[in-house]
Structure 1
Amino acid sequence: MHIDTDRNKNNQIFNITLINHRYFANKMNEEHVARFFVKTSKTLNLRVSAHRFRHAFATKLANNTKTNIKTVQNLLGHSSVYTTLSYVHPDMDDMRRAIDLL
């Protein structure tokens, strides 16, 4: 995995200093991330949370890359594939194509 350390700080999603400059020299913790999502949710008037990214991650892997569900399960750290299946949401285009086949 490559991490771009020269990335422009204004383009970083989780650059906590963009939210509050008091955090400049501090490491980001779970509370900082939670506050970021609360503030973002209020600003956008949308329900946004870090947990939703797990759903998006699982869905993109399973639907867009056709990654094996057991691999998705391991990446999410689930002990049961049934838990993982609840994180994978249907692709709307796939659903439309299925209906068009009728």
Structure 2
Amino acid sequence: MNEIVVVVTLTPIPGQRVQLLEICRKYWPGIQEEPGCELLALHEGPDTFVVIERWESRPLWDQHLATAENKALNAALSPLLAEPAQVWPVVALPLGHASKSKL
């Protein structure tokens, strides 16, 4: 099975940045321990947070999506977002040097 990378953008409502971070701090450790989670990293831009996830396989990511933990995270984040989270599951297309062409 091929690993999958998931890119998620979270744009908080103005004034909700700190609350969004607190929710992420609460749920991240549990998700990082789920079967198949190889990477769950949060990055901050000027107005948007970007989550980079790497899962061992699509079925294990799908399993994560169905967990109570993930559903609770999404329910907690939803009222803090200026727009719905954007989610892009992608598969690497390695080009050039193998060590520099995928997460």
Which protein is bigger by CA-based radius of gyration?
1
**TM-score above 0.5:** no
Q: TM-score, normalised by structure 1?
A: 0.26
**Structure with greater helix share of residues:** 1
**Structure with greater strand share of residues:** 2
Q: TM-score, normalised by structure 2?
A: 0.26
Higher relative contact order (CA 8 A, sep 6+): 2
